[in-house]
Amino acid sequence: MAEINAFQKKLIEALQAKKVSALCPCCGQNNWTIVDKVVSLPVAEAESVYRIPPPFVPSGGLVCNNCGFVRLHALLPLSIDPKEKGGVP
């Protein structure tokens, strides 16, 4: 396993604490690459107002190494601060 940074470690620990299934929902394998930074999931504005940067949900991302399925977990319910060192994209 490749070396992981503090953000990846925190994400793994938080998901394990929540007893999240480690199995891929598409292929059933447990073989993930954990994105090493916060993934910014953009949120559409109700009105045609543009903001830079756009509003987003800070998330932790995992990619299945077998089938490519991408899963995202919002960081807020996991009590992970996206602005902590190592997490900011």
Q: Which residues bind Zn ion (CB under 5 A)?
A: 24, 26-27, 64, 66-67, 69
Smallest distance, Zn ion to C-beta of residue 14, A: 21
Smallest distance, Zn ion to C-beta of residue 84, A: 29
Of the candidates 80, 70, 84, the one whose C-alpha atom is nearest the C-alpha of residue 34 is 70
Nearer to Zn ion, 67 or 88 (CB): 67
Smallest distance, Zn ion to C-beta of residue 1, A: 17
**Could you give the CA distance from residue 40 to residue 46 in angstroms, rounded to a whole number?**
18
Nearer to Zn ion, 11 or 24 (CB): 24
* Encoded amino acid at 74, one letter: A
Nearer to Zn ion, 25 or 42 (CB): 25
Secondary structure class of 16 (helix, strand, coil): helix
Secondary structure class of 6 (helix, strand, coil): helix
Residue 70: phi and psi, rounded to 5, are -110, 125
